[in-house]
Amino acid sequence: MKMALIGLGKMGGNMARRLCRGGVEVVGYNRSQDIVRKIAAEEGMIPAASAAEAVQQLPSPRVVWIMLPSGEPTEQQIRDLIPLLSKGDIVVDGGNSNYHDSERRGAWLAEHGIGFMDAGTSGGIWGLDNGYCLMVGGTPQVAAVLEPALKVLAPAPDRGWAHVGPVGAGHFTKMIHNGIEYGMMQAFAEGLSLLRGKEEFALDLAKITELWRHSSVVRSWLLDLTAEALKSGGQTLENIAPYVADSGEGRWTAVEAIDQGVATPVMTLALQMRFASQDKEGYPYRLLSLMRNAFGGHAIKSAGE
């Protein structure tokens, strides 16, 4: 199989490497050509200086996999690809796009006779060695064309990837996956904070998280990563700012829950806690202090205290 991969950042670059190592011919393009030259030299990837050049090097039906930030970068790239492609060609969006955008883009490309697959991709920086979990949406015909690449990217040919439904279903499934991830991360963070707060027990969090990795109900890859980080990086975390970004999927999950009228308090609250960490001014907390002083005469700490 031969395909193009546009966007060779942390995720896209490692995906290109894994594909090349698995016998898939990859024509790679990235706005910064340094990474293109590097992967070409190290993995045998075919370099391209532009998206047009990448498309020109593909046989029909041409498959172009995009790994770009969601929103306008992905939208613009698809817009630019349409005049370069022909009926029967396929575009794959492997980024974290909103599933509504994927449904719209699938219909848009279908008007030109171009197939589309939305590929929810999980695995992060560990995917190169461990494989990626791939949740893909599209027609059965498109899924069949992409199957060889999916089998290489996944942890094994028979697991870690699935055609979950029509266009939009892949990114929808990944959105919910990330909402669950938010809740799991928040639960671990709160539980470990409680353990650390019991100072008279002098609990070793690295030791406890390592303990939990073995036969515990809460064992998981997320716990594995946490245990390794606490073991190697220390437990005070004094060099890490208390700021947690949200990349969008958590917000979309909360909106979906409202639209469906389904209660998702854990995932939604986990998202809200990320918002709280991003509030540099802490204005709501200042107001709370003001109110406590107003009705109860509780002391207000000055900003310098």
The pLDDT tens digits for 271-296 are 998 988 888 888 777 878 878 888 87
- Taking the C-alpha atoms of residue 28 and residue 40, their distance in angstroms, rounded to an integer, is 8
Q: What is the pLDDT of residues 20-29, one digit of tens each?
A: 999 999 999 9
Q: What is the pLDDT of residues 69-82, one digit of tens each?
A: 999 999 999 999 99
Q: CB of 166 within 8 A of CB of 137?
A: yes
Q: What is the pLDDT of residues 34-69, one digit of tens each?
A: 999 999 999 999 999 999 999 999 999 999 999 999
3, amino acid identity: M
- Taking the C-alpha atoms of residue 2 and residue 145, their distance in angstroms, rounded to an integer, is 11
- Taking the C-alpha atoms of residue 224 and residue 209, their distance in angstroms, rounded to an integer, is 8
pTM beyond 0.75: the answer is yes
- As a dihedral over the C-alpha atoms of residue 136, residue 140, residue 141, residue 146, rounded to 10 degrees, the angle is 30
Hey, what are 34's tokens? 């340094």
Residue 71: its H or E element: none
181 is catalytic: yes
Q: In the block, which residue shows the tokens 């999950």?
A: 253
Q: What angle do CA 57, 38, 124 make, to 5 degrees?
A: 95
Q: CB of 10 within 8 A of CB of 125?
A: yes
- Taking the C-alpha atoms of residue 81 and residue 84, their distance in angstroms, rounded to an integer, is 5
207 is catalytic: no
Give me the pLDDT at residue 304, please. 65
Give me the pLDDT at residue 173, please. 98
Q: What is the pLDDT of residues 188-237, one digit of tens each?
A: 999 999 999 999 999 999 999 999 999 999 999 999 999 999 998 788 88
Q: What is the pLDDT of residues 135-174, one digit of tens each?
A: 999 999 999 999 999 999 999 999 999 999 999 999 999 9
What DSSP character marks residue 5?
E
Q: Is 241 a residue whose pLDDT tops 90?
A: no
Q: In angstroms, how far is CA 181 from the centroid of its own chain?
A: 10
Phi and psi angles of residue 118, each rounded to the nearest 5 degrees, phi first: -100, 120
Q: Is 248 a residue whose pLDDT tops 90?
A: no
Instruction: Report the share of the chain in percent with pLDDT over 70.
Output: 99
Q: How many CA atoms lie within 13 A of 304 on its CB side?
A: 0
Give me the pLDDT at residue 305, please. 64
| Domains of the chain by start residue, with CATH | 2-166 (3.40.50.720), 175-203+241-289 (1.10.1040.10)
Question: What's the start-to-end Cα distance of the chain, in Å?
Answer: 64
Task: Give the closest residue to 29 by CA, choosing from 67, 2, 71.
Answer: 67
Q: What is the pLDDT of residues 164-175, one digit of tens each?
A: 999 999 999 999
Point out the catalytic residue in the list 25, 43, 53, 181.
181
Give me the pLDDT at residue 158, please. 96
In three-state secondary structure terms, 248 is coil
Q: Is 242 a residue whose pLDDT tops 90?
A: no
- Taking the C-alpha atoms of residue 288 and residue 192, their distance in angstroms, rounded to an integer, is 27
135: which strand partners? 120, 162
- Taking the C-alpha atoms of residue 148 and residue 101, their distance in angstroms, rounded to an integer, is 26
Phi and psi angles of residue 281, each rounded to the nearest 5 degrees, phi first: -80, -30
Give me the pLDDT at residue 63, please. 98
Q: Which of the four pLDDT bands, split at 50, 70 and 90, describes residue 177?
A: very high
Average pLDDT of the chain to the nearest whole number: 94
Q: Where are the alpha helices (DSSP H) in 213-282?
A: 221-233, 249-260, 265-278
- Taking the C-alpha atoms of residue 189 and residue 220, their distance in angstroms, rounded to an integer, is 14
134: which strand partners? 121, 161
Give me the pLDDT at residue 293, please. 82
Q: Is 303 a residue whose pLDDT tops 80?
A: no
